[in-house]
Amino acid sequence: MILLQVICTIWTCLFIPLLNAEEFVPKVTETLSEYSFSIKSFDDSNSLIRLDNQVVWISSDSGENWEAVKEIEGHIVELTVDPLHGQDRAFVSIHLSPKFYVTDDRGKSWRALTIPISENCRLGTTCSIATHPTEKKYLIVDCPCFITDNSFFQIQNEIYFTNDGESFYKIEPSLKKKEDDHITSSSCNFVKSSKDSDIEGNDASILCLFSNHGYDSDRHLSAAYTQLALSTDGGKTFKKFDEFNDKVIYQYKILKSHIIVSTQDDRYNEMSPMDIWISNDASTFQKARLPAQVRHVHMYGIYEDSIGRIIIPISTIFTDEKNDQPAPSEILISDSQGLKFLPVEWTINPHFGYIDIASPHFLEGTIIGSFHPSFDYSHNKGKYNKKIARYETKISVDNGLTWSNLKVVDEENADSFPCDITRPERCSLQNPFYSI
């Protein structure tokens, strides 16, 4: 009897408010402008921010009312809400200037920060900013520079770090430049890429890739030297990795549980096979076991799934002159340690093309893969293209164990499609998306 009374009480508390509740009607506000504009939102708030004809506007009521920001001076080229601190922080970049503006209170106030770039650095674009997932005062700023050296017009860059959010110091490359090196470049990122990072290291730990390239009088590559180095003090001192001595480091990427590095043994052949190296502690690297030689790995397309496996798209874009038949573009998935990779079976197109994948964080276990056919314009080869390459797009909802076509769900307009959408094995969505 007591249990029945409790159930009735709970039901009454839930049902009566539903009877009295008014029907929800969304409020729509129109904002007019003579110019096209970009609009962004802060996380979990009614605050919006937009860039409209070189003016930043702020709204605290979901766009009903707007107020122009007057503190920002200069030609504004980019407005960015911090992807790691989207609740309250945004940045504004100034055209061809080492100055940018930052807000930490959803646009209510702004402060200017200026990067102390070198005198011979003429900015080609704006400086880019990398933020720390937990320490908001830690910033890495990358400034691209145009520099003329012995008739070579170069694009180099300078990296700066701040641990107080105000004063910046330049990160000096641990790889020294030689007299015959014409192009130098650096890239640095925080070892902690997310708040839930599993990689050990303090908040000031950063990983940097330094590269030097030399060219002969015909502007052909004559020397290529790279160095991957770890700093635990914000780039003041570095420790290099001996595993990569005498190798050319192509790229690296820091994920939640792994750091991935791709290398080549041949310094002068961009088509030489690549090796993939994995680290779980930012201290030592092990070479991964691959099912076959790989030659094209783009680090921006690498993901780590919800169970810690690494997903790598391999795109066969062009080949060397001795190879008439291209290797297939494919997707490789590792074991949980990230050291042994196997191919996904559905990518069977023996053609040149790009592989793109997306693994949305809000859909755990879901992977979408898409193959985009292309031609080998680099060597004008095409005799192996006897069959017309086709787009292939598939989805997996079990971390890549099984894959299926994207089913079209549009019964009302089924007759408008050129095929029978009830048969997804023959009629499916082929979406030429690109991962972001």
Measured from the Cβ of residue 405, the count of other Cβ atoms closer than 10 Å reads: 18
The pLDDT value recorded for residue 427 is: 87
CATH topology of domain 115-287: Lipocalin (2.40.128)
CA dihedral 385, 387, 392, 396 (to 10 degrees): -100
Instruction: Name the token pair of 258.
Output: 């792994």
The pLDDT value recorded for residue 288 is: 95
Alpha carbons 338 and 192: distance in angstroms, whole number:
18
Which DSSP helix (H) or strand (E) runs through 3? Answer: helix 2-20
DSSP letter string, 321-379: TT-SSPPPPEEEEE-TTS-BEEE-TT----S-EEEEEE--TTSTT-EEEEEEE--BTTT
* 3-state secondary structure (DSSP) of residue 146: strand
Span 261-296, pLDDT tens digits: 999 888 777 667 889 999 999 999 999 999 888 877
Residue 23 DSSP one-character state: P
Alpha carbons 367 and 373: distance in angstroms, whole number:
20
Alpha carbons 360 and 367: distance in angstroms, whole number:
7
Q: What pairs with residue 406 in β-bridges?
A: 429
The pLDDT value recorded for residue 377 is: 46
Q: Which CATH architecture has domain 33-113?
A: Beta Barrel (2.40)
The pLDDT value recorded for residue 387 is: 53
Alpha carbons 82 and 91: distance in angstroms, whole number:
7
Name the burial class of residue 75, with classes exposed (0-12), middle (13-18) and buried (19+) by CB atoms within 10 angstroms of its CB: exposed
Extract the residue ranges of the chain whose pLDDT is less than 50: 1-4, 6-11, 14-16, 321, 377-386, 434, 436
pTM: 0.82
Q: What values do phi and psi take at 149, rounded to 5?
A: -140, 110
Alpha carbons 399 and 295: distance in angstroms, whole number:
25
CA-based nearest residue to 85, from 39, 129, 142? 129
Q: What rounded mean pLDDT belongs to the chain?
A: 82
Q: What values do phi and psi take at 308, rounded to 5?
A: 85, 10
| 101 contacts 71 by C-beta, under 8 angstroms | yes
Q: What values do phi and psi take at 389, rounded to 5?
A: -70, 150
The pLDDT value recorded for residue 4 is: 47
The pLDDT value recorded for residue 6 is: 40
Alpha carbons 147 and 377: distance in angstroms, whole number:
31
* 3-state secondary structure (DSSP) of residue 416: helix
> How do the domains of the chain map onto residue ranges?
33-113, 115-287, 292-436
Name 247's Cβ contacts closer than 8 Å, sequence gap at least 6. Answer: 226, 263, 264, 265, 275
Q: Which residue has the tokens 């937990």?
A: 134
Distances (CA, A) of 266 to 77, 254, 346: 40, 24, 32
CA-based nearest residue to 118, from 157, 85, 151, 87? 157
Q: What pairs with residue 274 in β-bridges?
A: 264, 294
CA-based nearest residue to 203, from 193, 211, 212? 193
The pLDDT value recorded for residue 11 is: 47
